[in-house]
């Protein structure tokens, strides 16, 4: 029997847990041509949610997906945007030919296409280094939607990356100027750095201010995870009690990626039933798996930053109070603000609730184990 739990890839079918309300909101946005922004920490299931929502249209919605991770300039973005649009909206080579000749006349010399040995459409671009008109590229989704009388959604992951590029602000202004006029296309923009995404869409000085509906993704409820886990174990010939399921979820703070991760280890470690002992051993296995990553995250932290994390681990929320500053030797109040920016950028801490929370469930146990034990810390 196959292990039913998977992580590190998109959750589909029976692997997908709940998110019914969020799916309804995305369905409504895609159906109505409403653009929508999804904001949440990494590995909370944004991409799986988007794919699941698109799949409910059963082929009646044209979907273009782009990932900004690995892109570092507007020129690279335009090339990725154009290539994704041509590949993901056309299933036959003749459709590509027709689309290019009809809607990309100014770029015809720079677009090459063909069919591979596996009958897959191959597209290569050689956009010029000199300045060229990007209108055809940015208008292409709208033109395809109008021409085919179909709804179309453009999904862009790690959208906040654009603001980090040297020409990012100019690109954002350009995108907004075109996309706000597309009444047959929904733009679904999502990213993992919550503070950067929030700044892009909530600040009036930004080009994408109030661009679309904003969906702040929350964690799946413990009760929903509990039902999901007990069912998945049962369907694969194993047993996990509702109480043990609840403890499993709570061990990893209902974090979608780590629920699947820990459940997979528990499934592998059990013959017929997951006991508390198996859960404990499996969680230690998870911690060991992430020890190297934890070491990389903490290796270059300063003394004040380590002390800051000690205060957070101790449950302190008022980090600028004189008592906490003195007790944990945090330095000046200015240090607190600077360290908040550092920990948000490193995705170690999240401040969405107004106080710091560890982003990943492995971090606090490993931090407490190593930095609260002088002997371990010395050899770390």
Classify residue 354: in a domain, yes or no.
yes
- Spatial contact of 104 and 136, defined as CB atoms under 8 Å apart: yes
pLDDT confidence of residue 36: 93
- Spatial contact of 115 and 122, defined as CB atoms under 8 Å apart: yes
* Residue 371 token pair: 């930095």
pLDDT confidence of residue 379: 45
Query: Are 298 and 336 part of one and the same domain?
Result: yes
- Spatial contact of 160 and 71, defined as CB atoms under 8 Å apart: no
Helix (H, G, I), strand (E, B) or coil at 187: strand
Query: Are 26 and 77 part of one and the same domain?
Result: yes
The range of the structural domain enclosing residue 273 comes to: 222-289
Residue ranges of alpha helices (H) inside the chain are 20-32, 46-55, 74-89, 93-103, 135-148, 168-179, 194-202, 222-235, 242-251, 256-269, 276-289, 291-298, 303-313, 322-327, 333-345, 363-371, 374-379
The pLDDT tens digits for 313-356 are: 999 999 999 999 999 999 988 889 999 999 998 999 998 888 99
DSSP state of 125: E
Q: In which band, very low, low, confident or very high, does the pLDDT at 374 lie, cut at 50, 70 and 90?
A: low
Classify residue 155: in a domain, yes or no.
yes
CATH number of 38's domain: 3.40.50.300
As to burial, measured by CB atoms within 10 angstroms (0-12 exposed, 13-18 middle, 19+ buried), residue 95 is middle
* Total number of domains constituting the chain: 3
Domain termination residue (choose one: 201, 216, 231): 216
Query: Are 233 and 194 part of one and the same domain?
Result: no
Helix 46-55 vs helix 20-32: crossing angle, to nearest 10 = 60
Q: Distance between CA 100 and CA 85 in Å, rounded?
A: 11
Query: Are 283 and 300 part of one and the same domain?
Result: no
| % of residues, the chain, pLDDT over 70 | 95
Query: Are 200 and 63 part of one and the same domain?
Result: yes
The pLDDT tens digits for 169-210 are: 999 999 999 999 999 999 999 988 778 888 889 888 999 998
Query: Are 255 and 199 part of one and the same domain?
Result: no
CA dihedral 248, 254, 256, 261 (to 10 degrees): -20
């Amino acid at each position: 029997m196959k292990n039913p739990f998977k992580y590190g890839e998109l959750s589909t079918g029976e692997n997908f847990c709940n998110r019914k309300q969020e799916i309804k909101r995305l369905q409504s946005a895609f159906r109505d041509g409403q653009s929508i922004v999804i904001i949440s920490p990494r590995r909370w299931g944004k991409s799986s949610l988007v794919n699941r929502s698109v799949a409910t249209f059963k082929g009646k919605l044209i979907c273009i997906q782009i990932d900004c991770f690995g892109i570092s300039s507007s020129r690279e973005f335009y090339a990725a945007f154009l290539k994704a649009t041509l590949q993901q909206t056309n299933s036959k080579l003749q459709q590509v030919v027709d689309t290019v000749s009809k809607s990309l006349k100014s770029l015809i010399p720079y677009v090459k296409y063909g069919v591979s040995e596996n009958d897959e459409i191959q597209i290569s671009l050689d956009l010029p280094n000199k300045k060229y008109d990007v209108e055809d590229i940015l208008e292409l989704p709208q033109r395809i939607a109008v021409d085919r009388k179909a709804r179309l959604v453009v999904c862009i992951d790690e959208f906040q990356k654009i603001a980090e590029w040297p020409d990012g602000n100019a690109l954002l202004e350009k995108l907004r100027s075109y996309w706000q006029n597309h009444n047959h296309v929904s733009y679904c923009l999502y990213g993992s750095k919550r503070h950067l995404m929030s700044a892009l869409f909530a600040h009036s000085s930004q080009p994408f201010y109030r661009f679309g509906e904003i969906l702040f993704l929350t964690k799946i409820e413990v009760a929903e995870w509990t039902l999901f886990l007990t069912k998945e174990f049962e369907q694969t010939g194993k047993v996990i009690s509702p109480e043990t399921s609840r403890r499993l979820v709570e061990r990893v703070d209902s974090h979608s990626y780590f629920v699947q991760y820990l459940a997979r280890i528990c499934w592998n470690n059990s013959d017929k039933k997951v006991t508390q002992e198996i859960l404990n051993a499996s969680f230690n296995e998870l911690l060991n798996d992430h020890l190297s990553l934890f070491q990389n995250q903490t290796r270059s932290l300063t003394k004040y930053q380590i002390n800051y994390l000690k205060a957070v681990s101790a449950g302190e929320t008022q980090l600028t109070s004189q008592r906490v500053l003195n007790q944990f030797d945090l330095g000046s109040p200015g240090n607190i603000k600077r360290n908040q920016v550092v920990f948000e950028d490193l995705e170690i801490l999240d401040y969405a609730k107004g106080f710091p929370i560890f982003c990943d469930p492995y971090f606090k146990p490993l931090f407490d184990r190593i930095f609260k034990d002088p002997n371990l810390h010395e050899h770390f």
